[in-house]
């Protein structure tokens, strides 16, 4: 089963897609900075036959050195703040960071938890935020297509 392409919608509160000319190819390095794994389930769903994000040139890659952007989920735990910074440093320019889910945006239900360093914005510059707990797959794809549309 396939669905028609979702229309680009205003899902984010910040974005800098005008800096990118990716011509239909968006390679993403996913970083789970402390998620409950709910957001991961929705990210996995976008690559299912139903949503088929790869038809828009959106792919997950194993190394930040092969990625255009970091896809970050969860609040940033104290243990993951350093690895997240190093992952972003390893991205190719312009090192786009996309925060997926309410926890990544503002720590969500984990706000104030003893092991949490802060939101993704507290650790690094964020270029696009996708709200929701977790965000719906269609909203994630619509947001990512801002970068992958030709
Ligand atoms: S936004 Fe919701 S689903 Fe995503 S990591 Fe936080 S609690 Fe889990």
| 5's tokens | 């392409």
Let me know: does 83 contact 109? Beta carbons within 8 Å: no
pLDDT at 5: 58
Structural domain contains residue 2: no
Please work out whether the CB of residue 38 comes within 6 Å of at least one atom of ligand 1: yes
**Nearest C-alpha to atom 6 of ligand 1 is from which residue?**
103
Say if ligand 1 is within 6 A of residue 35 CB: yes
Q: Is residue 11 part of a domain?
A: no
Protein residue whose Cα sits closest to atom 2 of ligand 1: 133
Lowest mean pLDDT among 4-13, 20-29, 36-45: 4-13
Q: Which atom of ligand 1 is nearest to the CA of 132?
A: 1
- Total count of domains within the chain: 1
pTM of the shown model: 0.87
Q: Which structural domain range is residue 46 located in? A: 17-148
User: Which positions ≥6 away from 35 have C-beta within 8 Å?
Assistant: 73, 74, 101, 103, 104
């Amino acid at each position: 089963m396939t669905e028609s392409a979702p229309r680009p919608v205003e899902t984010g509160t910040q974005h800098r897609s005008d800096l990118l000319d990716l011509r239909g190819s968006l390679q993403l390095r996913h970083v789970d900075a402390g998620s409950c794994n709910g957001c991961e389930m929705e990210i996995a769903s976008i690559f299912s036959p139903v949503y088929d994000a790869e038809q828009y040139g959106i792919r997950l890659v194993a190394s930040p050195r092969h990625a255009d952007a970091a896809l970050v989920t969860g609040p940033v735990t104290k243990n993951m703040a350093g690895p997240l910074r190093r992952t972003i440093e390893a991205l190719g320019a312009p090192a786009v960071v996309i925060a997926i889910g309410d926890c990544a945006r503002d720590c969500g239900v984990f706000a104030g938890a003893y092991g949490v360093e802060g939101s993704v914005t507290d650790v690094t510059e964020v270029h696009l935020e996708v709200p929701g707990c977790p965000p719906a797959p269609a909203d994630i794809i619509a947001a990512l297509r801002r970068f992958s549309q030709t």
